[in-house]
Structure 1
């Protein structure tokens, strides 16, 4: 190798080292300039992750405690302490338990107490059960958001058929949605039950 080649090689190495140090200086300036923002961002990320982990642990603990309270109620349905604990930990599960007990005991007062529950399906089931008990199925079915609308119409029509009110039963069956999964039952009732 010639001296000229050696000098060129040394220049290239110095040039690359110079660029490396230049980038290191730029990075250092950037870090110094935005040091507080970087530290705050890292601290915020750590706090958010820590809070999320704590929240998940708390939710698992609440779920576990609610399951224990529910198991106690299954053993002894009169355990008021377990019922109160379930109500505070899992209100929707509490309402489901109250609903199941009200149905089992045919307790209309408990069903009425569930009318304003936030558990949508429990609310609607309670209204449906009260309607079947009071023969108010047509009123229940007239609600726009009634989940069991078609079933209530069919059940009401059957009650009318049992009382020989055939025209009223036919009118009620005709209100059942054509897309309903109960449409075959309606067709059978119209064909065989109502002549």
Structure 2
């Protein structure tokens, strides 16, 4: 029996070695068949990793340069080199810098930065007492200063003697708003009108 066990053991070993060699041959034939595709995919993956790393590095470098340039513009608004750096590295930050410079001069320039654009439109409407513009701003659901626009619209209407329209406008300001206290004061004044 021991001889039979030895023979069975040798057969099992040969079968396992045979299966191993068979799998190696299959892998080798698969590699030979798809060699170009495999090399291409590996190359693309390596190039993509390198490109992403370089892009991240450049973005970080531009962010640091833009922040330094913005600090320079804040301290010295006449620094044209810093403004040019901002324009090249971060266009939105450049527009913020231009907005801050114009604000110092009492102007409100056109900008594409969302909140600054709304703030600029709001300030222009206030400066010109434009009820229609204040009304259109207050109708925008995502306008940051919606309730203050409504309050200022009512204030302009009061100054024009349109008390009923002002009362209607003030009712649009919710009690939970920061402008509700101002609204209450103006409504108190309007009780006699």
The TM-score with structure 2 as length reference comes to 0.85
Residue 169 (structure 1) aligned to one of 162, 166, 188? 166
Aligned partner of 2:181 in structure 1 is 185
| Residues 141-180 of structure 1: pairs in structure 2 closer than 5 A | 141-143=135-137, 144-145=139-140, 147=143, 148-161=145-158, 165-176=162-173, 178=174
Indicate whether 1:37 and 2:37 are aligned.
yes
Q: List, as ranges, runs of 4+ consecutive aligned residues in structure 1 with deviation greater than 6 Å.
A: none
- Asked if 1:54 corresponds to 2:58, the answer is no
Q: Number of residue pairs matched?
A: 188
Q: Structure 1 unaligned segments of length 5 or more: list them.
A: none
**58-67 or 148-157, which moves further after superposition?**
148-157
Secondary structure of the residue aligned to 1:77 is coil
**2:153–2:169 Cα contact (<8 Å) kept:** yes
Look up the match of 2:121. Answer: 127
Aligned-partner Cα distance in 1 for 2:167–2:132: 13
Work out whether 1:68 is the aligned partner of 2:64.
no
- What residue in structure 2 maps to residue 79 of structure 1? 79
Q: Residue 65 of structure 2 contacts residue 89 of structure 2 at CA under 8 Å; is this kept in 1?
A: yes
The 2-side partners of 1:46 and 1:99 are apart by: 43
Check 1:171–1:90 CA distance in 2 against 1; reply closer, same or farther (3 A cut).
Answer: same
Q: Which ranges in structure 2 are unaligned for 5 or more consecutive residues?
A: none
- Tell me what 1:17 maps to: 17
Q: 1:97: how far off?
A: 1.7
- Which string of whole-angstrom CA distances, capped at 9 and with x for unpartnered residues, describes residues 121-145 of structure 1? 1111111111111111442332453
Instruction: Output the TM-score relative to the length of structure 1.
Output: 0.85
How far is the alpha carbon of 1:179 from its aligned partner?
8.1
